[in-house]
Amino acid sequence: MGLLDSIQRLRETLGKTREGIVGKVARLVSTRRTIDEETLEELEGILLGADVGMDTTSRVIDAIRIRVKEEGLADASELLPMLKDEIGLQFAGNGAAEPSDPFALPAARPWVIMVVGINGVGKTTSIGKLAHQYVRAGNKVMIAAADTFRAAANEQIGVWAERAGAALIQQKHGADPAAVAYDAVQAAASRGADVMIIDTAGRLHTKVNLMEELRKIKRVIQKQDPAAPHEVLLAIDASTGQNGMQQARQFGASVGVTGLILTKLDGTAKGGIVLAISRELNIPVKFIGVGERIDDLQAFNRKAFVEALFAP
């Protein structure tokens, strides 16, 4: 087997299923009458192809295998509802009712939200959209530009703050991000803001000193208000693979992530890794980003997400 042969073969394999996972389950159901091992194997492929990952995929498939046996299910048409059930059970909270509306603000004022994540996942854009939603609901919203590292980060968040109608607290490029956050929370309290959203610089979860910096930001916020930040949102790009788990683990360990924003779901990536994160680390998915416009942020809906895993 020469190298070219092998590449060629791989390419053909991929080409055959070019359509992606478009209506795959539907096809599976229509072409197969019974739920056999081969059907389960194809299901496994769909989940793996959506970045759900080996562990969570195996759990789902094993559960289905057991149910098929115990409940004597044989008809492939019973597969889809069962699959949705089982996937729902993997989410944080064991598939209890849909989570409450993440846009609804609890009583504490100012409600401090810190947004974290690796570089390029769409933190700043998500903050712009989030601010827009809160402003539209009649809240006084402020944004802190605590990404003092990236070139032109201040300008970028500035544009979003203006679009959303939120006040911006910033210092010059290279300033101490913790100082920005401290001042911002203070300003939010004194100006009577309802929501304070803190943008942080993108950082790889493997950079010890940068993760320490994030911890410090949280610490100084707590000096202003021991209950803050009330929410720490981790932004995860929908195209992220298995590394998403490490991201959630490390950010969780350093600042205690309370929820996920799954960004860039308007592409072809399914963001299946959040299912694994939700299950293993018990972190709920709260928001999804579905486009570049300011109102392209939605509350995460478990049912819709599961549908999308198998939909075109």
Partner 1 sequence: MFDELSRKLEGVLKKLRGQGKITEVNVAETLREVRRVLLDADVNFKVAKQFIEDVRKKALGQEVLQSITPGQLIVRVIHEELIALLGTSSAAIAQAATPPTVILVAGLQGSGKTTFCAKLARHLKEQGRYPLLAAADIYRPAAVDQLMTLGAEVALPVYHAAGVSPVDIAVGAVEHARKNARDVVIIDTAGRLHIDEEMMKEVGAIKAAVAPDEILFVVDAMTGQDAVNTARAFNERLNFDGAVLTKMDGDARGGAAISLRAAVGKPIKFISTGEKLDALEKFHPDRLASRILGMGDVVTLVEKAQQQFDKEKAVKLEAKLRRSQFTLEDFLEQLQEVKKMGPLSQVLGMLPGMNRLPAGANVDDSALVRIEAIIRSMTHEERRTPAIINGSRRKRIAAGSGTSVQDVNRLMKQYDQMQKMMKTLGKGGARALRGMGLPAGM
Q: Which is nearer to partner 1, 221 or 306 (CB)?
A: 306
Question: Min. distance of Cβ 13 from partner 1 in angstroms?
Answer: 5
Q: Which is nearer to partner 1, 100 or 119 (CB)?
A: 119
CA pair distance 227, 285, nearest whole angstrom: 22
Q: Which of 104, 101, 103, 67 is nearest to 83 (CA)?
A: 67
Question: Min. distance of Cβ 291 from partner 1 in angstroms?
Answer: 9
Give residues in contact with partner 1 (CB under 8 A).
1, 3, 6-7, 9-11, 13-14, 17, 20, 45, 48-51, 53-54, 118-122, 149-156, 158-160, 173, 204-207, 237-244, 246-247, 264, 266-270, 272-273, 292
Q: Which is nearer to partner 1, 121 or 228 (CB)?
A: 121
CA pair distance 125, 135, nearest whole angstrom: 15
Q: Which is nearer to partner 1, 136 or 150 (CB)?
A: 150
Region at 53 (left for phi over 0; alpha for psi -120 to 50; beta for the rest): left
Question: Min. distance of Cβ 254 from partner 1 in angstroms?
Answer: 15
Question: Min. distance of Cβ 55 from partner 1 in angstroms?
Answer: 9
Q: Which is nearer to partner 1, 1 or 104 (CB)?
A: 1
In angstroms, what CA-CA distances link 254 with 81, 209, 248?
A: 38, 11, 10
CB 188 within 8 A of CB 110: yes
CB 270 within 8 A of CB 257: no
141, β-bridge pairs = 195
Question: Min. distance of Cβ 237 from partner 1 in angstroms?
Answer: 6
Tokens 């056999």 appear where?
A: 36
Token couple for 50: 């959506």
